[in-house]
Structure 1
Amino acid sequence: MDEKTLTISVEPLEDVKRRMLASLRGAADATARHTFASAELMSRTLTPARWNILEAMTGAGEIGIRELARRLGRDVKAVHTDMAALVTAGLVERTAAGKYLFPYDRVRVHFEFGAPAMAA
């Protein structure tokens, strides 16, 4: 069985466009990706509680809110609120059965920062 990995990254829009164009030209990258435009956006979306949800869902298959809340030791309403945010962000899918799915076995997180370029 092939392991499904999601790479979550912070990248400028230009880098995402460049990668998409390369993919259209046949330079296929089979890695599933979820890209945020900034570290601030990523940290607002992926709060510590939501990271815990993704960790609990990794490799778990379809799961209902009540079961997920039980596994996490959290209130059902709070988990529901966080799940709605993860669905809206496109990280978690809502299934036809009304459960939730994070279809990955692994998650990698990638972002870089460095000193700003000096104006000449």
Structure 2
Amino acid sequence: MNTVTIRVASVEEMKLALKEAATGQQSAQGHYITFLDWERLWKTLSPKKMHILHTMTGAGELSIREVARLVKRDVKAVHTDLQALLGCGIVDKGQQGVIFPYDEIHFDFVVGKAA
């Protein structure tokens, strides 16, 4: 199964993970979408954008109109959301539409009192 992990991690944690991956110390490598803090994650992956990603998960390449039909939203609004997701590198542009190239989304973050 092609899984992406969406996580919140500090710059230090990301540097350590990159170092471990480069030296072969990391036991399980995978696909990650990493945010530096909860606020950036929430802003980037709003509920409507998450609905789009959930709908696109495992679906292959879809046209923007097809995504809009599946999420039951206006094409222009879905286009705007997809442009934001494309700009962040979360979805990819295909030959005929857009692709979220994963079959499953795993979330890995802790929400607690701010330090």
Is the TM-score greater than 0.5? yes
Kindly provide the amino acid, as one letter, of the partner of residue 9 in structure 2: E
Q: Distance in 2 between matches of 1:106 and 1:99?
A: 20
Q: CA RMSD in A?
A: 1.3
Q: Which residue of 1 is the match for residue 88 of structure 2?
A: 89
The sequence identity of aligned pairs, in percent, is 40
Q: Distance in 2 between matches of 1:111 and 1:88?
A: 23
Q: Distance in 2 between matches of 1:80 and 1:115?
A: 35
Q: Which residue of 1 is the match for residue 63 of structure 2?
A: 64
> 2:103 aligned to 87, 102, 105, which one?
105
Q: Which residue of 2 is the match for residue 21 of structure 1?
A: 19
2:62 and 2:96 in contact (8 A); partners too: no
- TM-score under structure 1 normalisation? 0.90
- TM-score under structure 2 normalisation? 0.93
Q: Provide structure 1 residue ranges, at least 5 long, that are not aligned to the other structure.
A: none
Q: How many Å apart are 1:30 and its aligned residue?
A: 2.4
Q: How many Å apart are 1:114 and its aligned residue?
A: 4.1
Report the count of equivalent residues: 114
Q: Distance in 2 between matches of 1:108 and 1:115?
A: 23
Q: How many Å apart are 1:51 and its aligned residue?
A: 0.3
Moved more, 104-113 or 51-60: 104-113
Q: How many Å apart are 1:115 and its aligned residue?
A: 5.0
Kindly provide the amino acid, as one letter, of the partner of residue 103 in structure 1: P
Q: Distance in 2 between matches of 1:89 and 1:54?
A: 13
4+ runs of 1 displaced by more than 3 Å? 113-117
